[in-house]
Amino acid sequence: MSKYIMVDFKNKKIAILGFGIEGQSIADYLIGKADNIVVLDEKNRTDFDLEVLKSYESRGIEFRWGKIEDLRDFDMVVRSPGVNPASKFILDAKHSGVTITSATKLFFDLCPAEIIGVTGTKGKGTTSTLIYEMLKESGEDTYLGGNIGTPPLSFLESLDKDSKVVLELSSFQLIDMEKSPHVAIMLMTTSEHLDYHKDVYEYIEAKRNIFRAQTADDFAIVNQDYPASNESDIVTEAKLFKVSRENKIFSEGCFVVKDELILKINGVEKNIIKIDEIALPGKHNLENAAAAVMTAVLAGVDLPTIKHVLKTFKGLPHRIEYVATVRGVSYYDDSFSTTPETAIAAIESFSEPKILLLGGSSKNSDFTELGEVISNSDSIKAIIGIGEEWSRINAEIKNQISNIKIIENCKNMKEIVQRAHEIAERGDVVLLSPACASFDMFENYKERGNEFKEEVNKLV
């Protein structure tokens, strides 16, 4: 990890692209440090809280609304994650000598503390939080931010050289990164966000930027169960550790063997915890737990503290979150599942008879494997198919070898939950794990999950 640097914002005309949570954090940080700040957002002024906008305007922020076309009259452009750095207006500005950066890049430039970065297709929020909890319980001055929802610029001025920062980093944030964390973790990585990235290769290469600037003094942790992650060791000079829930690690790392989570470091194996003692639900979370344990050990957390957190941390909202049991039927909210791979992981987390809630809006996913898993399952008794992608998922399910009941045409979450309630029997699991984004019926995955929980709790 490169030493932090001082950045001079005075006498610069600075553009902030996008005024979401991260854009607002950039503005908050720059107020008082820069004299000429302009926010550009393709939305309309009326899409925002007018009182909030007036507050920023009173502190010197200028707003421009509508399509962004030319940024060449700025000295610095700070993009939000949703703005692709390959956009024509950004490339034109860069070629004209404008400094192009992002909130994440600025944080890495300015942060005096040690950074632990976590990326992957899924699991990064859970793993980041688990690491944060282990560090916090050990007494470290620890901060959690990034893609998980807290912009790190919001706590930058609270940090010193002894602090520890855990960042969840998305491909959108990593795509133009030129610095790497001291400890970098790449979890399960398959494919996602192909509506943003031009192909899977670009997506994986963006993720690998978490390693590229590391030196021999840094640490890299990769999940060896997925080729895109396992093969990322080629881009780092850091000391390498591997994690796995499928195979023994023969070098150094953390892995699952039968009913134990095992740590291997300096040639010595240590039993960390029995699998059935880990509070996180789902087999896939064993690999996230392994990554968190490996990271915490490298950060100096003692094993009793690590074990205590593993026994008590039950996960994040909307990640196979237990909601309620009604008439002997258990309901789980896995609305954060927006890819086929995470839906498969959720399905494989339960041996009980299952009623699945599948479908949503498109992320250009390939549902072939999901269809095969469903077709070959002997524990899925029904699927409630929803959203525009349901027809594509259904096309991959081979009903001639399956007795799965298919229910369609539910118009809202109330109908969806009611239909599940009608057909569920004692001992069943009703699992919302859509494998798709939510934007055709809901504002986001949180709204989808919250509506599911609200309707389930009405059954109680």
* pLDDT the model gives residue 399: 60
Distance CA 127, CA 116 (A): 11
Cα–Cα distance measured from residue 151 to residue 3, given in angstroms and rounded to the nearest whole number: 21
Q: Are residues 214 and 72 in the same domain?
A: no
pLDDT digits over 22-78, tens only?
999 999 999 999 999 999 999 999 999 999 999 999 999 999 999 999 999 999 999
Residue 258 lies in a domain: yes
Q: Are residues 158 and 89 in the same domain?
A: no
CATH code for the domain of 91: 3.40.50.720
Q: Are residues 96 and 118 in the same domain?
A: no
Q: Are residues 380 and 304 in the same domain?
A: no
User: In the predicted model, what is the mean pLDDT of residues 412-418?
Assistant: 97
Top-confidence residue, 334 or 283 = 334
Give SS3 for 283: coil
Give the pLDDT band of residue 191 (cuts 50, 70, 90).
Answer: low
Residue-level pLDDT at 1: 45
* pLDDT higher than 80, residue 5: no
Q: How many CA atoms lie within 13 A of 260 on its CB side?
A: 9
Which pair of tokens denotes residue 166?
């855990």
- Spatial contact of 363 and 338, defined as CB atoms under 8 Å apart: yes
Overall pTM surpassing 0.75 (yes/no): yes
Q: How many CB atoms lie within 10 A of CB 176?
A: 18
Q: Are residues 138 and 257 in the same domain?
A: yes
Q: 185-205 as b/e, with b when 16 or more CB fall inside 10 Å?
A: bbbbbbbbbbebbeebebbbb
Domain total for the chain? 3
Q: Is residue 441 part of a domain?
A: yes
Average pLDDT over residues 168-174: 93
Among candidate residues 87, 104, 121, the one where a domain is terminated: 104
Res. 327: pLDDT tops 70: yes
* CATH code for the domain of 447: 3.90.190.20
